[in-house]
Amino acid sequence: MELNRRTVIAGAAAAGVAATTLGSGSAQAASASSGGRKPVKEPFGTLADGTKVHRWSLENGGTRLKVLSYGGIVQSLEIPDRHGRYANVSLGYDDLDAYVRGTTYFGATIGRYGNRIAKGRFTLDGRTYQLSVNDGVNSLHGGKQGFNTKVWDVEPFTAGSDVGLRLYYTSVDGEMGYPGTLRTKVTFTLNRHGDWRIDYEATTDRPTVVNLTNHTYYNLAGEGSGSIYDHELWLAASRFTPTDTGLIPTGELAKVKGTPFDFTHRKPIGRDIRTGHPQLVTAKGYDHNFVLDKGVTARPEHVVTLRDPGSGRTLKIFTDQPGVQFYSGNFLDGTLVGQSGRTYRQGDGLALETQHFPDSPNEPSFPSTVLRPGRTYRTTTIHTFGA
């Protein structure tokens, strides 16, 4: 019997309406009548330079979310299973130092540019920019000191039955090599149905490139419970972007049909992950951008369903972005200890990063990531949970 069954309205228009209409569930609706709890702030440690870091706790519609001012990090995401039992379904740490030392981007807000840019270099309006290089010869997730390493200004809010946080960070001209001062706002909202919505906004005073995303690692059976290979995944993507040995897209949009990359029908993640396909060998699993069939849309549309058969938990993702990076936790090597006190090994979590394509500034055929003065970068991703 399903206790948290979602009633998600189908279609692009329905998916893009206010987050409060996206879902309903009997267990999660228990706390919905009077809205969510007021956001709670508590200390979470101090950086080496003396900067205080705080953790904010949100709860609404049966979903519990904890967010750090450091890196805009989702430190914990708790949802119930089919029996109403809660578990933290996001990988992460209990202490600040582990996040500062870490290289896995657990739960982080990513910028200025999510994913990779080849050789950390791109040309815009005839001028070439050299970025911070931190992934071999390439730039990954904004460089050595991307947005995941910054302390964000956080403003809590309540709006009707919604609760949330507005996070602000200003990246100055030249930071990590990027042109323009980028003023960024990221809004996390939990509605009365327990849906988690992320709204990204940014403006610039010089032409630049921007690609913001969130890097939460999911394990719907619960953090520290083992691998996600039994999780079933559906992606609304009939093509993906193959990569070279540095995980940079080749520029090709390859069909998934007849390959291990075909998730157009729901299947276990582990079914084909060890087939020996050259792309899987290079990445040590899935670490690829999937080209969403809908393309860039004015409103978020349903593009991902993830389900854990054991707990019954489900995650559905709606986005207006053209791509989703599916990463199967290939580089987790057993040296990291999570909140459960258990080590994270290969495949113990997965990321589903809504985004524009990797290396788009160097691939004119990819959807553009250029932002110019006078324009506002806006994108929305919505997560709905059920069991």
Which residues are catalytic, by number?
A: 215, 353
Say whether 287 counts as a known binding-site residue: yes
CA angle at 369 for the pair 121 and 199, rounded to the nearest 5°: 125
Mapping DSSP to helix (H, G, I), strand (E, B) and coil, where does residue 206 land?
coil
- The answer to whether 372 is annotated as binding is no
Strands 139-140 and 116-117: antiparallel
Q: Which of 347, 55, 373 is nearest to 210 (CA)?
A: 373
DSSP classification of residue 21 = G
Does 116 appear as a known binding residue?
A: yes
Q: Provide the β-strand partners of residue 188.
A: 165, 198
> Is there a contact between 110 and 237 (Cβ–Cβ < 8 Å)?
no
CA dist., res. 116 & res. 135, Å (int): 8
Could you give the C-alpha distances from 280 to 166, 244, 386, in angstroms and in order?
38, 11, 30
Q: How many angstroms separate the CA atoms of 322 and 282, rounded? A: 24
d(CA 319, CA 341): 33
Contact yes or no for 166/154 (Cβ under 8 A) = yes
Give which of 183, 186, 197, 188 is closest to 157, Cα–Cα: 188
DSSP state of 132: P
Asked whether the CA dihedral 109, 36, 225, 2 is positive or negative, the reply is negative
Determine the Cα–Cα distance for residues 203 and 180; give it in Å rounded to an integer: 9
Give the torsion through C-alpha atoms of 17, 193, 70, 113, to 10 deg. -30
- Total residue count of the chain as it appears in this document: 387
Question: Binding residue per annotation — 115?
Answer: yes
Q: Is 119 in contact with 137 (CB distance < 8 Å)? A: yes
Environment class of residue 251 by beta-carbon count within 10 Å: exposed (0-12), middle (13-18) or buried (19+)? Answer: middle
Which residues belong to the annotated binding site for beta-D-galactose?
A: 115-116, 215-217, 287
Q: Which residues are documented as binding site? A: 115-116, 215-217, 287
